[in-house]
């Protein structure tokens, strides 16, 4: 099971903050995952944010520049959490 699948499963059970989930990964709660797998999880999160923002932004009539700004903010938040927890991107 990928980290993304674990995250979705856990998130569906309870609203787990990303920082808590990342700390659980670091502490081995879900097994041992390598740098590549953890980075793949981050890339998946970033990709989903982009996709969701364009879909939701389109539904709400938000302009493309505003959508891009929101995406950049959210991705920066994710990257900050990864840096805080793991010390790398």
Token pair of 14 as six digits: 């309870």
Q: What digits encode the pLDDT tens for the residues 1-55?
A: 999 999 999 999 999 999 999 999 999 999 999 999 999 999 999 999 999 999 9
DSSP string, 10-38: HHHHS---HHHHHHHHHTTTT----HHHH
Per-residue pLDDT, 89: 83
How many domains is the chain partitioned into structurally?
Answer: 1
* Cα 85 off chain centre by: 13
Report the residue count for the chain: 89
- The pTM for the full model equals 0.92
First vs last Cα of the chain: how many Å apart?
Answer: 21
* Structural domain containing residue 21: 3-86
């Amino acid at each position: 099971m990928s980290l993304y699948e674990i995250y979705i499963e856990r998130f569906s059970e309870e609203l787990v903050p990303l920082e808590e989930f990342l700390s659980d990964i670091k502490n081995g709660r879900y097994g041992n995952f390598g740098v590549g797998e953890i980075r793949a999880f981050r890339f998946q999160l970033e990709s989903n944010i982009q996709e969701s923002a364009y879909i939701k932004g389109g539904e709400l009539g938000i302009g493309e520049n505003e959508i891009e700004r929101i995406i950049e903010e959210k991705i920066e938040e994710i990257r900050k959490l990864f840096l805080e927890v793991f010390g790398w991107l």
